Structure 1
Amino acid sequence: MKPLQISAETAVMLAKKLNVPLEQLMHMPQHILMKKLMELEQADSESETKKD
């Protein structure tokens, strides 16, 4: 499997947000990365709703 086709800045930002090592992020299958991003977005929207 080839690494994700994303920029270095994007990779560093995603690794920090998802709390995973950069090397693991770069070799993560795309469908798993998308699932984790959706979960992160859902958690962010839920926390915003609770703040209001």
Structure 2
Amino acid sequence: MRPLQISADTALKLSKALGIPLEHLMHTPQHILLQKLSQLAQEETAAQAEAQSQETQATERKDEQAAISESSEDSKS
């Protein structure tokens, strides 16, 4: 089996992202490497979706608090 045909920069980035030594990465079969990359992409997508969800919830809470504040000010007048 021949080593992967990727640049040194790409190999270093993949090694860090996947948490495997560079020597192992270069001799990892292509189908396994693609599977690991797919899993990494899914995890990143899930993390981004979670962060976006939390951001949306925070914005909604802020809007609700502003509406409550406005309604209480209107009732005092």
Q: TM-score range by the shorter chain?
A: over 0.9
**Which is bigger in relative contact order (C-alpha 8 A, separation at least 6)?**
1
Deviation for aligned residue 1:21: 0.1
RMSD in angstroms over aligned alpha carbons? 0.3
Instruction: Give the letter for the 1:30 counterpart.
Output: Q
CA distance in 1, matches of 2:20, 2:26: 10
From the two aligned structures, give the one with the greater helix fraction.
2
2:46 is the counterpart of 1:50: no
5+ residue gaps, structure 2, are: 53-77
Q: Which residue of 1 aligns with 2:17?
A: 17
Identity, in percent, stands at 52
Alignment of 1:2-13 (within 5 A): 2-13=2-13
Deviation for aligned residue 1:7: 0.4
Deviation for aligned residue 1:18: 0.2
5+ residue gaps, structure 1, are: none
Q: If the length of structure 2 is used for normalisation, what is the TM-score? A: 0.67
Report runs of 4+ in structure 1 exceeding 6 Å deviation.
Answer: none
Alignment of 1:33-48 (within 5 A): 33-48=33-48
Q: Which residue of 1 aligns with 2:26?
A: 26
Larger Rg: 2
